[in-house]
Amino acid sequence: MTTVKELYHYLDSVAPFKYQEEYDNAGIIVGNPDMPIQNVLVALDSTESVILEAVSRGCNVVVAHHPILFRGIKRLNYQHYIDKTIIAAIKHDIAIVAIHTNLDNVLVNGVNQEIANKLNLVNTTILLPKQAVEGRSIGSGILGELAAGQNPIAFLQFVKETMQCGTIKYTDLCKDQIKKVAICGGSGYFLLQAAKQQEADIYITSDIKYHEFFEANSEIILADIGHYESEQYTIELLARLISEKFSNFAAHCTKENTNPVNYL
């Protein structure tokens, strides 16, 4: 049977864990690396409800995009969602594996390429490349093109429907049409200047603060589609990759919506 460690090594071949950012904590978060895998549940976040779903569906491994632990904890007293998740995982012998910024930083089979595919972008490249490692292009964000220019409002409506957004916050429509598109799943303000330098017509990301919207400066359309919304298709991506590699267990997509944000 396939072990958690073997799954980890496969994920490492897709998006090497050494490519994760310094602040990150991707890898095997909870569990015995030598434990045989029964089935896998893939989610964006590890939460108590996801752990309990794994139990109910016969899964003993959760593969999540976001790590449940980023920093040290001093107590587990069931007073916080992190406590509840870790306690539930240990109680039910569920391993948690996170594959986070390392999956953000690869182009092929990465978070941003999955978004670009959903939005029908072509000619995709990394938005802000880092030094190539071992012949592999790595870096932050993605830049691509639409096959034909689109009206900005029509394109934003397409993005809203495709990415299942409750709302989109966007800046002045300073472009007559959208042709070149920059994207960063998750929190991506740090790439705004790179999107401008690459002459993108629109930059799609999330977690933009009020004063940061001003930095679009009528040079680019800046669109915040929501953190969960921008990364939700990572679940499909990981489930597909795991299913294609391993045939002796199933990889299920979670049925839990772990988005902590609601829209009225």
For the chain, give the mean pLDDT: 96
* Euclidean distance between CA atoms 89 and 233, whole angstroms: 24
End-of-domain residue from the set 102, 136, 163 = 102
Residue 74 confidence class, pLDDT cut points 50, 70, 90: confident
Q: What is the pLDDT of residues 208-244, one digit of tens each?
A: 999 999 999 999 999 999 999 999 999 999 999 999 9
Confidence band (pLDDT; 50, 70, 90) for 72? confident
pTM: 0.95
Residue that finishes a domain, picked among 102, 128, 162: 102
CA–CA distance, 112 with 234 (Å, rounded to integer): 9
Report yes or no on 237 lying in a domain: no
In 3D space, the residue among 179, 175, 178, 110 whose CA is nearest the CA of residue 141 turns out to be 110
Q: What is the pLDDT of residue 144?
A: 98
**pLDDT above 90: residue 7:** yes
Average pLDDT (175-200) is 98
pLDDT of residue 190: 98
The total number of structural domains that make up the chain = 2
Count of helices and strands (H, E) across the chain: 10, 11
Same domain, 169 and 77: no
